[in-house]
Structure 1
Amino acid sequence: MKEITVQELQEMKERGEDFQLIDVREDFEYQMSNLEGENIPLGGILIEADKISKDKPVVIMCRSGKRSAVALHQLEAQGYTNLANLQGGILAWQQQIDPSIQVY
């Protein structure tokens, strides 16, 4: 499983790289705070897999990196090869990049 750090994600955003960010947390978690990715809760990741690009890098995130790792494994089993898990999830983002965002 490929992983990237929150610093690497921040650099990708700053450079304006073409990638897709998928947040697999539940809707209420996403509404509290998000990194402007697309919200596809883990329970529906395979049902909504057609929304996930196979043509560019995809970063999958959640609160801590555990649910996103599960999502990544499920999608890789479906043939995806362009996925990376965000280490530490939004908790790491809040600790290392933006302490102003609300986490629980």
Structure 2
Amino acid sequence: MENAETRPETRVAPRSVVVIRAQVRMMGTDKLDIDVTDLSRTGFQIETIHRIQPGATIWLKIPGLAGLEATVKWSRRHFYGCAFVRPLHEAVFDHVVALATPSRD
């Protein structure tokens, strides 16, 4: 199984550190509470106590947005790296990051 320690870095878009309480859903399951910990136009990282299989198709539900389809690419303990099926529109990405970026106080 590929994980964060063994996979090569394959990012195609810059990422932003965020803190977003959200949910994911897989086909035939209930919604799972997760935290989005970084976000780019092409993917995101989540943290959750729930087990999600790499290769799974999930729908990310960020408050205020429609569900976003993604594929789980890797896992490492409670962290999962995911790729959006369709990249986020730049304006949507900018809006989410502006609302969710941790303050630097």
TM normalised by structure 1 equals: 0.29
More strand by share: 2
